Amino acid sequence: MEIDSAVVVDARGLACPLPVIRAKKGLNSVPVGALVEVLATDPGSVADFEAWTRSTGHELVQASQEQDRYTFLIRRTH
User: Rounded CA gap, 12 and 57, in Å?
Assistant: 24
Strands of 35-40's sheet, edge to edge?
7-11, 35-40, 69-75, 59-66
Q: Which of 6, 16, 34, 73 is catalytic?
A: 16
29 labelled catalytic? no
Active-site positions? 16
